Amino acid sequence: LQIPHARGGLGIERVEQAFESLPDEYREVITLAHVVGLSRAEIAEQMGKSEGAVRVLLHRALARVSTLL
């Protein structure tokens, strides 16, 4: 997970707080994609969802993080 620097230098605590406030499914998909580095297909298999569902879920999760920061 890359921490954005453009918006007034976000602190790691703020990012962690935003991440922890997400629903479990959002945290899982972000972790699998951006920390573990799995492909969308691998995430889909891991989560028992279609690749399309994973793309939508990841998009919504990242959008939620953006609104919290």
Q: Could you report the per-residue pLDDT of 43-58, keeping only the tens digit for each?
A: 999 999 999 999 999 9
Give the predicted TM-score (pTM) of the model.
0.81
Helices (H), the chain: 12-20, 24-30, 40-47, 51-68
Average pLDDT, the chain: 88
